[in-house]
């Protein structure tokens, strides 16, 4: 009998990662492609997904009939059971039954999961969160995403919409968030929030190595790392502020969940993770009950850019 | 065969409620006793519990051998499986194996649960939260307690310490909370928080019908109701502020859990519940995502003072 494989995809607003897993959960082939600019047609993103799957098969020499399942993350609100994308903020899909479309195209089961949920699930099954029963995951990137493992299972809530931990209000009079509210965790601690802070300081005449990067958008995580290493004062302030509010949010989440683990991941943590974790650890005790704090661990994710791919693998294993 | 009964107890810092349930889950007898003042000996509270059970049996004429189980709420941190009270802020129990002591005394299984958890569980099995799969419960009394039903089960987290929803930080620079942190939900929205606000206004020379009540402690919920009906401006401000922060917290909890229901209970809600709910409903949309808000209901508890007793019944049914 020929060996069988599974394909995991990580579909983002700007790129698609793809990987072929063998039966021992090793990634035997991988691929990265630009997906689309904001506002592009749904069909284009879908075509990129199809291209990634086909290129993975071509370059690996593995025929489609040895693939048993495909799973993909989707950056948005989905119906995981039905395989339907309900809404994505950065991609033009509304109530789109991508599961059925892909099943028709490739003839194998196609599963979807929310991207941050899959990141936490990947770390829970195969990474730093393995063996912890209750896990609160905070993923810091352009935004701040969240994922919850409760009683050993991904908690998705009503209509798979749970886990918007980046949109806890930490200061009702705080800075405006992309979601329209004020003072969300994301407004302080994401790349967007940090970039807005740096932009404001620069507009007041202060210098920063990130001045140009934040002029119109958000800095790249690697550039933040460089600025911190160079002792950029404004960048450090932005990080201190981000970590302060991450500590406040973490404290509340500890009081709410009494988790076994709070896990930090995402592009920013990937780039400057130890700095973040140290600062959060220095403050978090001030924002939760000692009795509950005493039984929770805080640490960084371990699978890096592959956490979502491994989450897709976990999803296929659970649904199989 | 003789009918069998179960006894539920609601042990608070100042009173113990007891009830005998028949096989159809009707309360056939009930009793209320003062428990103890703060700082009294553990043995005294235990003696009060024993007295309540014995008086329930005496007054009902039901013999002990027709009782199949006893369950009690405990206001504090417990090990629900082991029947051990780990810590209570208002009672002098530390690592106390009350389960075994009561089993020895009465010869029937004795279960314990955290009081707010049992309140939410009672409402979930037999009250306003019946039929909802994911429920966030907020109980407003002297403090603000929380309870979580997730995927149809009471979520207790690591060491049964989850659900401290009253100690979410809503403003890191806010008023001091009893837990030692600043700006917790409880510091704004509990009777303690509202009393502190009224006390401050009175100290600034403003008049309030609750001035005397808050001089040294917290007002009684019924007095708050009277003051509101009389149009007491300071009391109304305290309630507006309490409801504002309940709305902020509710918004964050909706974004975190995507629950099917947010349930409000406790002494204050029991007394002035509709006022609270209306004010919360007016503001909550400003603090959560419309996409998630659209599938969650907000309402008041329905079992009143009996919610914890019914939670104790549910606990016995689950453990049976």
Domains in chain A: boundaries: 5-119+307-319, 131-302
Inspect the interface and report whether the beta carbons of B291 and A77 lie closer than 8 Å: yes
* Crossing angle for the helix pair A233-257 and A191-203, to the nearest 10 degrees: 140
B67: nearest Cα among B7, B1, B2, B9: B7
Which of A42-46, A94-98, B290-294 has the least mean pLDDT?
A42-46
Q: How far is A117 from chain B (nearest CA, A)?
A: 12
Q: How far is A58 from chain B (nearest CA, A)?
A: 40
Residue A315 to residues A60, A111, A192, A320, B271, Cα–Cα distance (Å): 23, 7, 30, 8, 47
Bigger pLDDT: A295 vs A291: A295
pLDDT for A38: 47
Inspect the interface and report whether the beta carbons of A171 and B172 lie closer than 8 Å: yes
Inspect the interface and report whether the beta carbons of B251 and A169 lie closer than 8 Å: yes
pLDDT in tens, B21-65: 999 999 999 999 886 554 455 567 788 889 999 999 999 999 999
Mean pLDDT estimate for chain B: 92
The backbone region for B163, taken as left when phi is positive above 0, alpha when psi lies in -120 to 50, beta otherwise, is: left
pLDDT for B178: 87
Highest CATH level, class, for B5-119+306-319: alpha beta
pLDDT in tens, B212-228: 999 989 999 999 999 99
pLDDT for A193: 96
pLDDT for A171: 94
* Overall fold of domain A5-119+307-319: Nucleotidyltransferase; domain 5 (3.30.420)
Q: How far is A243 from chain B (nearest CA, A)?
A: 14
For strands B135-140 and B261-265, give the pairing.
parallel
pLDDT in tens, A306-315: 999 999 999 9
A239: nearest Cα among A194, A208, A278, A204: A194
pLDDT above 90 coverage of chain B, percent: 77
Q: CA torsion sign, B176 to B179 to B183 to B187?
A: negative
Looking at this predicted complex, what is its ipTM? Answer: 0.93
pLDDT in tens, A54-65: 999 999 999 999
| pLDDT higher than threshold 70 for residue B90 | no
Quick one: CATH architecture of B132-301? Answer: 2-Layer Sandwich (3.30)
Q: How confident is the model at residue A94 (pLDDT cuts 50, 70, 90)?
A: confident
Inspect the interface and report whether the beta carbons of A151 and B155 lie closer than 8 Å: yes
Inspect the interface and report whether the beta carbons of A158 and B260 lie closer than 8 Å: yes
The backbone region for A123, taken as left when phi is positive above 0, alpha when psi lies in -120 to 50, beta otherwise, is: alpha
Inter-chain CB pairs, A–B, below 8 Å: 129
pLDDT in tens, A187-219: 999 999 999 999 999 999 999 999 999 998 999
B60: nearest Cα among B19, B25, B3, B23: B19
Q: How confident is the model at residue B96 (pLDDT cuts 50, 70, 90)?
A: confident
Inspect the interface and report whether the beta carbons of A259 and B165 lie closer than 8 Å: no
pLDDT in tens, A260-270: 999 999 999 98
A42: nearest Cα among A79, A71, A5, A76: A76
Q: With contacts defined as CB-CB under 8 Å, which chain B residues touch A260?
A: 158
Mean pLDDT estimate for chain A: 92
Chain B contact probe: residue of A87, A146, A157, A179 with most B CBs at under 10 A: A157
Inspect the interface and report whether the beta carbons of A258 and B160 lie closer than 8 Å: yes
pLDDT for A195: 97
pLDDT for B43: 61
pLDDT for B38: 47
Chain A contact probe: residue of B257, B286, B298 with most A CBs at under 10 A: B257
Do B5-119+306-319 and B132-301 share a fold?
yes
Segment B58-77 shows an average pLDDT of 93
* B185 contact partners, CB below 8 Å, separation of at least 6: B144, B165, B166, B167, B168, B170, B245, B246, B249
Q: Where are the alpha helices (DSSP H) in chain B?
A: 42-60, 98-106, 115-126, 185-189, 191-203, 221-229, 233-257, 267-283, 290-293, 307-319
pLDDT above 90 coverage of chain A, percent: 77
Highest CATH level, class, for A131-302: alpha beta
Residue B161 to residues A178, B74, B78, Cα–Cα distance (Å): 33, 13, 8
pLDDT for A232: 98
Q: With contacts defined as CB-CB under 8 Å, which chain A residues touch B162?
A: 134, 256-258
């Amino acid at each position: 009998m020929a060996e069988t494989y599974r394909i995991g995809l990580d579909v983002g607003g700007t790129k698609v990662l793809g990987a072929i897993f063998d039966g021992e959960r090793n990634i035997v082939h991988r691929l990265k492609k630009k997906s689309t600019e904001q506002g592009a047609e749904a069909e284009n993103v879908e075509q990129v997904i199809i291209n990634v799957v086909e290129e993975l098969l071509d370059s690996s020499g593995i025929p489609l009939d040895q693939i048993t399942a495909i799973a993909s993350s989707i950056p948005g609100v989905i119906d995981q059971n039905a395989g339907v994308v309900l809404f994505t903020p950065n991609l033009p899909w509304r109530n789109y039954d991508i599961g059925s479309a892909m099943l028709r195209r490739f003839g194998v089961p196609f599963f979807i999961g929310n991207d941050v949920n899959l990141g936490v699930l990947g770390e829970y099954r195969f990474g730093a969160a393995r063996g912890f029963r209750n896990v609160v995951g905070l993923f810091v990137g352009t935004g701040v995403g969240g994922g919850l493992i409760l009683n050993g299972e991904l908690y998705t809530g009503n209509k798979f919409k749970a886990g918007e931990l980046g949109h806890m209000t930490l200061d009702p009079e705080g800075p405006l968030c992309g979601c329209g509210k004020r003072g969300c965790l994301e407004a302080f601690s994401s790349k967007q929030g940090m970039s807005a802070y740096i932009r404001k300081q620069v507009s007041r005449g202060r210098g920063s190595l990130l001045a140009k990067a934040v002029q119109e958008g958000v800095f790249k995580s690697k550039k933040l790392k460089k600025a911190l290493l160079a002792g950029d004062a404004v960048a450090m302030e932005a990080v201190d502020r981000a970590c302060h509010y991450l500590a406040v949010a973490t404290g509340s989440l500890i009081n709410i969940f009494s988790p076994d683990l709070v896990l930090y991941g995402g592009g920013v943590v990937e780039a400057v993770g130890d700095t973040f974790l140290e600062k959060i650890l220095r403050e978090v005790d001030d924002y939760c009950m000692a009795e509950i704090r005493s039984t929770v661990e805080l640490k960084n994710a371990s699978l890096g850019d592959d956490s979502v791919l491994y989450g897709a693998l976990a999803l296929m294993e659970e649904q199989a």
